Amino acid sequence: MDKAKSIEEIRLIPDIIGEAGIEKDLRVNPEVLSDLLGDKDLRVEEPFFIHYEVNRRQDAFHARINIKGKVHTNCSRCLSPMGYPVDLFLQSDYVPAPPEMVGELEAQRQSADTGYYRREILLGQFIVSELVLSLPIIYVCSDGCKGLCPQCGTNLNEGPCACTRSADPRMQVLAQFKNKL
Ligand SMILES: [Zn+2]
Ligand SMILES: [Zn+2]
């Protein structure tokens, strides 16, 4: 297994991909991922693994990519530490860029299904953009996370707090009733 110094730099030379295609396993160090994500709230503690296979059909290529790893963060509702597993499967065709196409090839994609190449297939750039897009904007430890009590800060997943009871409208009616006595 090869070590990838950066994901963006993963490029393939079409001329050296034969009829049998190519297949590769890469291990990406946590620091490389942390730098890439550039978000201090997202921690990467274990390596990511990238597996790719590229097959050739005349001058068109088909890439299949699997990315596995984990990011660590805190639940946005209850603030508890949580892990978010990444298990992404990507596929893309690569066809020769038409001569009139200028500038960054990955920026000219019309969809995730088809990319363009000139002398190199920019597999890494595709992986980076799809990986970043696959991550949630808000991390929640579970769909049913009850969060923290806005008044006392108790983690309501661990049980109700004293405020829950006094905020109950039935209890307020009862309190008013008692005051009148
Ligand atoms: Zn939570
Ligand atoms: Zn409370």
173 CA → ligand 2 middle, Å: 19
- Within this chain, do residues 39 and 118 fall inside the same structural domain, yes or no? yes
* Environment of ion ligand 1 (residues, CB < 5 A): 75, 77-78, 141, 145
- Within this chain, do residues 72 and 98 fall inside the same structural domain, yes or no? yes
- Within this chain, do residues 93 and 27 fall inside the same structural domain, yes or no? yes
146 CA → ligand 1 middle, Å: 7
For the stretch 57-92, pLDDT in tens is 999 999 999 999 999 999 999 999 999 999 999 999
Beta bridge pairs of residue 86: 69
Note the pLDDT of residue 98: 93
Give the C-alpha separation, 29 to 38, whole Å.
15
Q: What is the pTM of this model?
A: 0.83
- Within this chain, do residues 20 and 58 fall inside the same structural domain, yes or no? yes
Tell me the residue range of the domain where 139 lies. 2-143
- Give the model's confidence band at 126: pLDDT under 50 very low, under 70 low, under 90 confident, else very high: very high
**Arithmetic mean of pLDDT, 124-134:** 95
The string of DSSP codes covering 129-170 is HHHHHHS-SS--S-TT---B-TTT--BGGG---HHHHHT-HH
139 CA → ligand 1 middle, Å: 8
158 CA → ligand 2 middle, Å: 12
- Within this chain, do residues 138 and 150 fall inside the same structural domain, yes or no? no
Note the pLDDT of residue 166: 60
Note the pLDDT of residue 69: 98
Higher pLDDT residue, 164 or 34? 34
102 CA → ligand 1 middle, Å: 47
Q: Is 164 a residue whose pLDDT tops 70?
A: no
